[in-house]
Structure 1
Amino acid sequence: MISASEFGWIMPEIMLAGWGLLLLIIGGLTRGPVASKTCGVLSVIGSVCAMYFTVNLWGGNQEVFNQLYTIDNFGTFFKGLFIAILILVSVVSLRYADREEIGSGEYYALLMFGVLGMMVMTSSHHFVTIFIGLEVMSLSIYVLCGLLRGNLSSVEAALKYFLLGAFATAFLLYGMAMIYGSTGLMDVADLKKFFLTKQPFSATMFVIGLGFLIVGFGFKIASVPFHMWTPDVYQGAPTSITAYMATGVKAAAFGALIRVFFTAFVPFQFGWSEIIWVLAVLTMCIGNITALVQRDIKRMLAYSSIAHAGYILVAFITGDRTLASSMLYYLMAYSFMNIGAFTVVIVLQKKGDNNSDLDSYAGLGARHPFIALCMSIFLLSLAGVPPLAGFMGKFYVFSTAVKAQYYWLAIIGFLNSVVAAYYYLRVMMYMYFRDTIGEPGTADKAPGYGLVMLICIWALLHMGIFPKTFLLIAQKAVGIFS
């Protein structure tokens, strides 16, 4: 029996769903620049209200709706991260979406619905609700990717993401079905008890199902060899949506992956960790090596995001629930680094031009010193240079591998970080040590862009200089697994 009090535990989700429907109505009744700005401002206000309700859930521990949905620090951590991403992307979109003429009520509503799906994914411990959250998130992003209707690459990105996303979702769903067929259970907590009590089950069907789960989640986190969609989709999608996907979607997939595997499949950690070991090495190496030859900044950041998924998998492999906080810390830092970097890309892009060629960054330090400085900070953090958050994130992740005696994995990760530094520093070299190539481009200096860049820089410096505060939050979030 569902009680009315249970709805109080899902106020952030209710807020986003209701506010998104309101924006759909407003978008259907009004059009034009004023309507776009109004919807953008309302989106920011609604997101801030959702953040307020989310913060109030911290410390709560409750299962609702017949145990299909859970409220705990792990889910609340990710809800806060998703809403922070939503706020930053919405602020960036106040100018960008209006400039590209995509800033309707539908645009901001889909951003909210996407975050709603992310929340459901990471707060569910039942396969059915995880799948529902995944579909809500995915369907929203399929549409968002193709909003630049006059741009062929945007339409191609949406179609490619839809087709490959549907294919990966089928693997994930079939994996869930195989595990259910093997054990008769779909709740991850019940699966944990089932395996610990050594109940009989079909091992062959279970192993196949587990493999399909890894394939499905691997697509969403863009790990090799399930990464082929990433550069084309990231390059073709509106840049604000690229930032949204590179951070929110990846964090949601990792959140669901951690909850499922660190709860249900811990007894089989040795088996699946060997598979993830190979995926982590391939993801780091191929992501970084391919990024070396990219001339487009968005494609470079796409391959960079693939490599960063490999770094996070390094900590995931250990299966040590007490050390899982390093993954959450890294996801926080990664989100601010990428949103900041993609904001700079947006600032330097022209209306209707979704490209970001490396040559357009030549001489940026002389033309726009503040923008070049911001981009340098984001790139240095991505490279893992102290005292920025990227350094501490990699330090915690590789330390986790060393503590679990995965020494070779830590060494491979460190060497990949050195390789990655080359293509990050190459962009800085173009900005400061190359003359402007061709006609100098202009920068779109809307106040919202500067605000987002400064917030991201503050977060990266604060997390890098005072990491223990954020690591403690992450440790409390993963405390549910101990």
Structure 2
Amino acid sequence: MISIPSNDFFAVSPLLIVILTAMIVLMVDLALPRDRKGLLVGISLIGLVAAVFASAALWGRGLNAFAGSVAADNFAILFQFILLIVAGLSVLLSERYIQLKGINYGEYYALMLFSTSGAMLMATSRELITIFVGLEVLSIALYILAGFARTEARSEESAMKYFLLGAFSSGFFLYGIALLYGGTGTTRLDLMAQVPGGLQSVYSIAGMALLLVGLGFKAAIVPFHSWTPDVYEGAPTSVTAFMSAGAKAGAFAALIRVAIAFLPVSHYFHDVLWALAILTMIVGNIIAVQQTNIKRMLAYSSIAHAGYILVGLIAQNEVGRAGIIFYVLSYTFMNLGAFGILILLARRGDELTQIQDLEGLSERQPAAAALMAIFMLSLAGIPPTAGFIGKFFLFSGAIQAHEYWLASIGLLASVVGVFYYLWIIVRMYFKPARREFPTGIWNNSPGASIAVGFCALLSILLGLVPSTFYNPSLSGAQSLIAPVAPIAAPAIPVAKAEGPQVSANVR
């Protein structure tokens, strides 16, 4: 009988708590009438808070579990914190919105929790098959959530596009795993670089490219971004908010672990990432400028932000990696907050879809306009917001790594991005109102109001006192140790008299 050490379960306890909470939500939902679904919000939040405490208990322990497939290091714990925050804020934003949309079903919250658990597994995994399992759990739940508004053709269309393209990207990822296993004889990321010449073989290079396709799809990296604007526009806004932050955080957590293994020993991987970063920053910002639909604009904006995060990844130093963690958290607050304002201003059968719909918002809803301005300024990277500090860390890492061209292009792309963010502020404050806005939005949606206020507060605080999270981010970056490929082949283990020794996973 195979016995699993208790430490293994302890290392994945936050993940298990989230899964258990999702199952409890499904069971409780069976006994609740449709007008009492608010109880599920409380259950979901209690489970997420419990998972936060479980993650905090793992800080600094550096546990490895399940034969090294899972690492509960500080890096994983920080990303778990971020993902749990994303899930909690998304649950709060969803309560009243899904009632207005007529999709107030218990499965909604359960699917959001299952998707969160998949992203958490991706953040803790350092073995490719385990990452793939997390990717699929994340993706399948999101496919369903994207089409949750079944009476709306756009929602159904976005779900179908997301599913079909996602299925192809998953196939590429799985085939990449097979090729890397053929080239190195292992699926463990920390062991691949220890195989002499393993990552320089044709099989491995092709496998790395296919892995990048799968993860690039989830992170919305150009040219794997085509699904993003259509899905963001068609999915319910609360789902779009969750998807924009949660899926990106999970994908980049996995991509960082992959890059830690591949970048030091493969210049091909570095060159490809370099080109993708430039394409992603330029394409995302230039197309975002041309958008009139606000959700499509935020979609292309998220693509551009993926390019900024790649800059920190290419730097291959602690400043860049810590900057990624800091920036992902900052992006979570400013992006969820922006979508939260759209949710607060939504009415039954009437949502703000066009940028011009925000004109005159400062006259009718001055508090909402002020909060939206904070989020736009942070997304633009204007000091002293969190977005500015996050970009500062990312580009500082690139400069320290002598990636001057990459940092320069990133700065120029950021300047382009400032235009469309400030244009929204101009419309809110200097244009007459074109439409009526709902009244009593703060009292009607207390959960969403709390979430939006929290996002605005953190978007400012992280800019004013960045050390409160940057220092833990630096600790998380330091917990990632890049494996160095040995020059000589490792010694072949010799069986001793008292029992054989087996070199696992490496051939």
**Structure 2 length-normalised TM:** 0.91
Q: Secondary structure, in 3 states, of the residue corresponding to 1:193?
A: coil
Q: Give the CA deviation at 1:3.
A: 2.2
**Judging changes above 3 Å, is the alpha-carbon distance between structure 1 residues 200 and 32 closer, same or farther for their aligned structure 2 residues?**
closer
**Does the 8 A contact of 1:380 with 1:424 survive in 2?**
yes
Structure ranking higher in helix proportion: 1
**Judging changes above 3 Å, is the alpha-carbon distance between structure 1 residues 413 and 443 closer, same or farther for their aligned structure 2 residues?**
farther
Q: Give the CA deviation at 1:232.
A: 0.4
Q: Secondary structure, in 3 states, of the residue corresponding to 1:147?
A: coil
Which of 384, 388, 392 is the matching residue for 2:385?
388
Amino acid at match of 1:463: L
Give the whole-Å Cα distance in 2 for the aligned partners of 1:322 and 1:427: 32
Q: Secondary structure, in 3 states, of the residue corresponding to 2:71?
A: strand
Give the whole-Å Cα distance in 2 for the aligned partners of 1:443 and 1:97: 18
Q: 1:390-438 deviations in whole A, cap 9, x for unaligned?
A: 0001111111111111112111111111111111111111111010114
Which of 347, 352, 367 is the matching residue for 1:350?
347
Q: Give the CA deviation at 1:65.
A: 2.1
Q: Give the CA deviation at 1:252.
A: 0.5
**Judging changes above 3 Å, is the alpha-carbon distance between structure 1 residues 199 and 418 closer, same or farther for their aligned structure 2 residues?**
closer
Residues 407-416 or 154-163, more deviating: 407-416
**Structure 1 length-normalised TM:** 0.96
Amino acid at match of 1:425: L
Q: How does 1:148-167 map to 2 (within 5 A)?
A: 148-167=149-168
Q: How does 1:320-335 map to 2 (within 5 A)?
A: 320-321=317-318, 323-335=320-332
Give the whole-Å Cα distance in 2 for the aligned partners of 1:406 and 1:458: 33
Q: How does 1:53-72 map to 2 (within 5 A)?
A: 53-72=54-73
Amino acid at match of 1:471: Y
Give the whole-Å Cα distance in 2 for the aligned partners of 1:372 and 1:307: 24
Q: How does 1:53-92 map to 2 (within 5 A)?
A: 53-92=54-93
Amino acid at match of 1:134: L
**Does the 8 A contact of 2:221 with 2:306 survive in 1?**
yes
Give the whole-Å Cα distance in 1 for the aligned partners of 2:462 and 2:156: 38
Aligned to 2:462: 463
Q: Give the CA deviation at 1:271.
A: 2.2
Amino acid at match of 2:383: P
Q: How does 1:384-423 map to 2 (within 5 A)?
A: 384-423=381-420
Give the whole-Å Cα distance in 1 for the aligned partners of 2:253 and 2:402: 24
Q: 1:458-482 deviations in whole A, cap 9, x for unaligned?
A: 1111110111221111111111224
Amino acid at match of 1:346: I
**Does the 8 A contact of 1:235 with 1:354 survive in 2?**
no
Residues 359-368 or 99-108, more deviating: 99-108
**Does the 8 A contact of 2:345 with 2:437 survive in 1?**
no
**Judging changes above 3 Å, is the alpha-carbon distance between structure 1 residues 268 and 321 closer, same or farther for their aligned structure 2 residues?**
farther
Aligned to 2:237: 239
Q: Give the CA deviation at 1:87.
A: 0.7
Give the whole-Å Cα distance in 2 for the aligned partners of 1:79 and 1:305: 21
Q: How does 1:171-190 map to 2 (within 5 A)?
A: 171-190=172-191
Residues 374-383 or 391-400, more deviating: 391-400
Aligned to 2:487: none
Q: 1:298-335 deviations in whole A, cap 9, x for unaligned?
A: 11100000000011111111223453111111111011
**Judging changes above 3 Å, is the alpha-carbon distance between structure 1 residues 269 and 404 closer, same or farther for their aligned structure 2 residues?**
farther
**Does the 8 A contact of 1:220 with 1:253 survive in 2?**
yes
Amino acid at match of 1:211: A
Q: Secondary structure, in 3 states, of the residue corresponding to 2:64?
A: strand
Amino acid at match of 2:423: R
Amino acid at match of 2:144: V
Q: Secondary structure, in 3 states, of the residue corresponding to 2:137?
A: helix
Residues 397-406 or 381-390, more deviating: 397-406
Is structure 2 residue 212 aligned with structure 1 residue 214? Answer: yes
Give the whole-Å Cα distance in 1 for the aligned partners of 2:282 and 2:50: 41
Give the whole-Å Cα distance in 1 for the aligned partners of 2:335 and 2:291: 17
Q: Secondary structure, in 3 states, of the residue corresponding to 1:63?
A: strand
Q: Give the CA deviation at 1:133.
A: 0.6
Aligned to 2:294: 297
Is structure 2 residue 288 aligned with structure 1 residue 286? Answer: no
Q: Give the CA deviation at 1:200.
A: 5.7
Give the whole-Å Cα distance in 2 for the aligned partners of 1:327 and 1:16: 25
Q: Give the CA deviation at 1:63.
A: 1.5
**Judging changes above 3 Å, is the alpha-carbon distance between structure 1 residues 85 and 278 closer, same or farther for their aligned structure 2 residues?**
same
Identical-residue share of aligned pairs (%): 41
- Tell me the matched-pair count: 477
**Judging changes above 3 Å, is the alpha-carbon distance between structure 1 residues 25 and 468 closer, same or farther for their aligned structure 2 residues?**
same
RMSD: 1.5
Q: Give the CA deviation at 1:355.
A: 5.0
Aligned to 1:14: 16
**Does the 8 A contact of 1:79 with 1:119 survive in 2?**
yes
Give the whole-Å Cα distance in 2 for the aligned partners of 1:480 and 1:170: 31
Q: Secondary structure, in 3 states, of the residue corresponding to 1:185?
A: coil
Q: Secondary structure, in 3 states, of the residue corresponding to 1:115?
A: helix
Q: 1:164-213 deviations in whole A, cap 9, x for unaligned?
A: 0010111111111100011111001111322xxx2567711111111111
Q: Give the CA deviation at 1:8.
A: 2.4
Residues 444-453 or 466-475, more deviating: 444-453
Is structure 2 residue 30 aligned with structure 1 residue 49? Answer: no
**Does the 8 A contact of 1:348 with 1:443 survive in 2?**
no
Give the whole-Å Cα distance in 1 for the aligned partners of 2:291 and 2:349: 22
